[in-house]
Structure 1
Amino acid sequence: MSKNLVLQPPRGTRDWLPEEAYAKRIVSEKIREVFESYGYGEVITPAFEYLDLLKAKAGEEVVEQIYAFKDKAGRELGLRFEMTTPIARIVASRLDLAKPLRFYYVQPVWRYEEPQRGRWREFWQAGIELFGISEPEGDAEVVAVTFDALKAVGLKDFDIRVNDRRVVEDLVLGAGIPGDLLPSALRVLDKMDKFGEEYVVSELAKLGLREDAATSLLEKLKSGSLDIDTSTQPGREGLRRLALVVDTLKNCYGINVTVDYAIVRGLGYYTGFVFEVKAGSSEGLGSIAGGGRYDDLVSVVGGPKIPASGMAIGVERLLEALSMQGALKLDYREVDVCVIPVKKTPEILSEAVAVARELRVAGMKVVLEVSERSLSKLLEAASKRGARFAIILGERELKEGVVTVRDLYLWKEEKVARPHLYEYIRAGSST
């Protein structure tokens, strides 16, 4: 392997430099606050799980994307590709936990898929899982948490689209797709936003659906009407539940959503209500959040049947959407203050450490500069790192009980008595 290749992160991954990591942290913390305000508690699961667990109800396409490997004892493992299945494992193994359960996470996941805009092989998700509530009010809560989280981080323009998989399953079967090919048809429909209607019609034809029947199916999926005809009891129940969720969101939370029967979600464990969120002015970015109901997953991984609903926000996509909307405005500074001892005598260095410690205790980001470069070079470096102030300490300052404070924004300096240093810095920072 070439040296140049080794110096690059693996394909589909990225390095987060300080300013980027700061933006991710600030956005993630705002999301956490919303999650916790609804009573959700954080869970952290292992990065890898037994492969059989990850395959449970994931869907054929996603199974192919799992980073799978054997450990030194020959056990088949895989990196988690999402967080819902590992959390379902927790619930299945901890039946002593009182229901309902409200869990949240902010964690990285991995999928081996083709990297492209808004799609990485290693990416972060922030999401919630609600166990033990079968009523549509549970689905409405999950959507409301999503809405509030996106608003809290400053996303201005986004659209929430909702559906119930039972409705689209009814329509697909009614169009002539055999029952054994239903999962394949749903995977095709899930790609409509990505590849367009012509692609969907072509792929449905490969499953045996005539072109006119496929076109008619897409017209029904685009109708968005809650009065659409369904022929099966599951389809009718899906419509009824979908209407209840839509009404609850509107009447109780003041949230308007759009019915979109083309929303099916790619993971195979969804059993009913599903939704996706797209940001305005972000053509080609894909969904920034999505989720739905998965009442069978806990039983599939070995526990009892427990109703559940959840969602995940793609953190990288959210950050890009915020940037595109001009909403990612962060006052990032790597350093607030740089303390520069002019000479490295024990007395001066000790006082410089004391100054730095005092300002750190007060909540400031402080660098103690101990390199041997010239003062002008050190001041230039401090300015480039975003520091507002440089505090210069030498023999004269130590003798007089003062420090020299250089304002790197206004490029002026002043002698400040040592006891008044913090008040001076704090006052100057606010101007």
Structure 2
Amino acid sequence: MVVILEHEIPQGSQLYFGKSARLKRRIEERASQILYTAGFEEIITPSFSFLEHQRDTSSREVLRLSNEKNHQIALRNDTTLDVVRIITKRLGRSTEHRRWFYIQPVFSYPTNEIHQIGAESLGEADAKSMLKVAIEIFRSLELEPILQLSNMRIPLLCAEHSRLGLEVFAKMQVEKIMASEEYLGELLQIKNAQDLQRATSKVPSFLKEELEKLRALAEGIEYPRFVFAPLYYAPMDYYNGIFFRMFEGNSTLLSGGIYEMDELQSCGFGLYTDQLIEKILRHNEG
């Protein structure tokens, strides 16, 4: 028999109090103010949804239960999916607004609780506009994590036109990439705008348009700590084009980009509040 002490909480759950709770509220207030100013309205989606409304009903990460009518219910594990579904299917006749933000956790098996601040621009694939909002939130907190600009289409096309499988890019197996097509080595070395311009003139024609999208995204973005990572590929449920993330060390603090859901091309991002709080507290203590 396993004894559970009174002070224990399930692994993966979050507890904030005193300084950390105050910091969490400050982050949320700053983000809310910036998002409202940028034309977003807030939405709070239900913690529960019908299992059939989940993108992947077979996922082992989904926390499931049954309601009184024995319908399969899931705890919210993806707010983007809920926002798109609720705005387009349920509230479509009640509002024409397309810019929404949310501040709420998602949950995954077994007891993971992940706090997020997210923003979705439905029907608008303007990654630069969303990226500027994300940068403004971090600047309001006096933070400048590294900004990575990527394009999921590039590794997808490279896998299609080379002898490498997509998993090679997902795992970033540098030796295999370097030993393959010459242009892949060029892509691997891109870090700044000069590298990107040089490589664009050397890569096959099927990549030029996608590299140009990266250049256009960076143009006009005034941010000192950014890098290009054209071969970066993260197996995401819906991001299929321009992708950006902000990180410090091994912690991803924000990720976002262009996605398509229910035949609607949109753009959004999610800020990972738990990692951000941990980073700020660790920095202040150091």
TM-score when normalising by structure 1: 0.57
Question: Could you list the per-position Cα deviations for residues 269-319 of structure 1 after superposition, in whole angstroms to 9, with x for gaps in the alignment?
Answer: 11211011012xxx33x211001101x21x1xxxxx322100011001111
Aligned to 2:258: 293
Look at both structures and tell me which one has the larger radius of gyration over its CA atoms.
Answer: 1
Aligned to 1:389: none
The counterpart of 2:215, out of the listed 226, 233, 243, is 243
Give RMSD over aligned pairs. 3.0
Corresponding position: 1:81 with 2:74: no
1:68-147 to 2 correspondences below 5 Å: 68-93=64-89, 94-96=91-93, 97-98=95-96, 101-112=98-109, 121-134=112-125, 138-147=126-135
Structure with higher RCO (Cα < 8 A, 6+ apart): 2
AA aligned to 2:223 is I
Separation in 2 of the partners of 1:133 and 1:18? Answer: 39
Aligned to 1:289, the other structure's residue is in SS state strand
Aligned to 1:98, the other structure's residue is in SS state coil
Aligned to 1:213, the other structure's residue is in SS state coil
Corresponding position: 1:325 with 2:278: no
CA 1:230 to 1:41, structure 2 compared with 1: closer, same or farther past 3 Å?
farther
Separation in 2 of the partners of 1:74 and 1:44? Answer: 25
Separation in 2 of the partners of 1:210 and 1:272? Answer: 21
Separation in 1 of the partners of 2:130 and 2:269? Answer: 7
Shift of 1:216: 8.2
CA 1:264 to 1:80, structure 2 compared with 1: closer, same or farther past 3 Å?
farther
AA aligned to 1:212 is A
Shift of 1:215: 11
Contact in 2 for aligned 1:162/1:263 (Cα 8 Å): no
Greater CA deviation, 22-31 or 236-245? 236-245
CA 1:191 to 1:320, structure 2 compared with 1: closer, same or farther past 3 Å?
farther
Structure 2: give runs of 5+ residues left out of the alignment: none
Question: Could you list the per-position Cα deviations for residues 145-164 of structure 1 after superposition, in whole angstroms to 9, with x for gaps in the alignment?
Answer: 11110111222x31111111
CA 1:78 to 1:237, structure 2 compared with 1: closer, same or farther past 3 Å?
farther
Aligned to 1:308: 266
Contact in 1 for aligned 2:177/2:185 (Cα 8 Å): no
TM-score when normalising by structure 2: 0.83
If each structure's helix is expressed as a fraction of its own residues, which one has the higher value? 1
AA aligned to 2:240 is T
Separation in 2 of the partners of 1:86 and 1:51? Answer: 12
Q: How many residues align?
A: 276
Question: Could you list the per-position Cα deviations for residues 106-147 of structure 1 after superposition, in whole angstroms to 9, with x for gaps in the alignment?
Answer: 10111237xxxxxx821200111011223xxx2111111111
1:133-172 to 2 correspondences below 5 Å: 133-134=124-125, 138-155=126-143, 157-172=144-159
Separation in 2 of the partners of 1:6 and 1:215? Answer: 60
